Amino acid sequence: MASEGLHNERKYMLAFHKIFNINLNRYFEKIFQYYGSFEAAWQSSSFAPEMGMPKKYWEQFVNFKKTIVPELLEEEYYRKGIKIITRKEKNYPLSLLQISNIPCILYYCGEVALLHKKSLAMVGSRLATFYGLKQAHSLAAELSQNGVVIVSGMARGIDAAAHEGALEGKGGTIAVLGSGLDVPYPRENMKLFHRICEKGLVISEYPPETKPLNYHFPIRNRIISGISSGVFVVEAKARSGSLITCDLALEQGKEVFALPGAVTSSNSIGPLRLIQQGAKLVIYAQDILEELGYEYKTDVYNKQKEIIKDIGEKEKVILEWISWEPLNLDFLLEKSPQRAEEVLRILLELELKGLIRQLPGKYYVRV
């Protein structure tokens, strides 16, 4: 899609998103395929039932369409300091194209390039203990100093402590909100919100003016795990939203880390149960860095450069698709112009040469 055409399409995508909010995720590709463009869909008097969209959405479209001027939306958002990236753009993070319910639009403030760097999600209890807050802050600071981007949800407690610690390092931090960027939540973290906008990145799949409703937060957790190489649970009760994020991470082929704590603390039960189930026990930041492949990074990089020089063009094409974020085999087979048998052969050769590693669930990552 040409730059001018994309810019024209974007304003109509934003208009649809304002009407349907994240329900548009389910129909984003169908609208584009059926009408050829979002502009054509906007100009249509009603929605086609062939897309499988409920009738209430057609009526919603007709009613709200009269109140929206697409040409003014993007300008309005930019005045608020909010930028946009759509699923159709090249710099949309590849990692989010592999999760369930792919966000069709991301709204952001800050350095969007952080979405393409190696990152770790740090999550935990809102009612954290002094032990949990101290560990979250210090571990996030050390991980960030080693170049790891820390991802969290900007909630009170562990999330806020992790962001604060990360801002002391050089890796950066990403906050994923469950509301519009102009309605940051909780209000007590407004100073933190502005600091992350200036020195990190804040993103949301919710359009501006979207209030922080309770059910938004479990939904946004798939994005927190989706853009991260793994999820680190610092403190969590036996039933916790943080454990939902862990489940999502496992479904996405990601690593799960947990901080041990006193068995007498209800906030330690979640991490201890995760460790029982096979999560990586974390004592020092180095435990995570080693698992994510940060140790001997320079030596590995130099050795790989020599190996890559000798591989064929077909191998290089496949290797370029694979990054340090887990990539699903089905996604590779779908995107590659080569036959499935050829792709599987190349993946095996790349693995034998030590360039990639296969993870459970048919995921691949760079070594």
Structural domain harbouring 189: 110-291
Give the list of residues 6+ apart from residue 141 with CB closer than 8 angstroms, or none: 165, 166, 168, 169
Phi then psi for residue 110, to 5 deg, are 115, -155
How confident is the prediction along the chain (367 residues), in pLDDT tens digits per residue?
A: 445 556 679 999 999 999 999 999 999 998 888 888 999 988 876 666 667 777 777 777 778 888 999 989 989 999 999 999 999 998 899 999 999 899 999 999 999 999 999 999 999 999 999 999 999 999 999 999 899 999 999 999 999 999 999 999 888 999 999 999 999 999 999 999 999 999 999 999 999 999 999 999 999 999 999 999 999 999 998 887 788 888 888 888 889 999 999 899 999 999 999 999 899 999 989 899 988 876 534 444 556 677 887 788 888 888 888 876 678 888 888 888 788 889 899 999 888 888 888 877 788 877 6
Predicted pLDDT of residue 18: 94
Domain-located, residue 99: no
Query: Residue 223 domain-assigned?
Result: yes
- Whether 234 and 279 share a structural domain: yes
In DSSP terms, 174 is beta-bridged to 151, 201
312, two tokens: 């064929």
The domain that holds 257 is classified in CATH as: 3.40.50.450
- Give me the number of domains the chain comprises: 3
- Tell me how far apart the alpha carbons of residues 154 and 134 are, in angstroms, rounded to a whole number: 16
Task: Answer whether residue 87 is part of any domain.
Answer: no
225 and 114, same structural domain?
yes
Give yes or no for a contact between 158 and 131, defined as CB atoms under 8 angstroms apart.
Answer: no
Claim: this prediction has a pTM higher than 0.75: yes
Distance of alpha carbon 227 from alpha carbon 254, whole angstroms = 10
How far CA 209 is from CA of 12, 122, 182, in Å, comes to 18, 27, 6
Answer yes or no: is 94 within a domain: no
Please give the helix or strand (H or E) that residue 121 lies within, else none.
strand 119-123
User: Is position 85 within any domain?
Assistant: no
Same domain, yes or no, for 56 and 153? Answer: no
Amino acid at 194: H
- The answer as to whether 34 is a domain residue is yes
Three-state DSSP at 281 gives strand
**43 and 154 co-located in one domain:** no
Last residue of a domain, one of 291, 315, 342: 291
Residue 101 lies in a domain: no
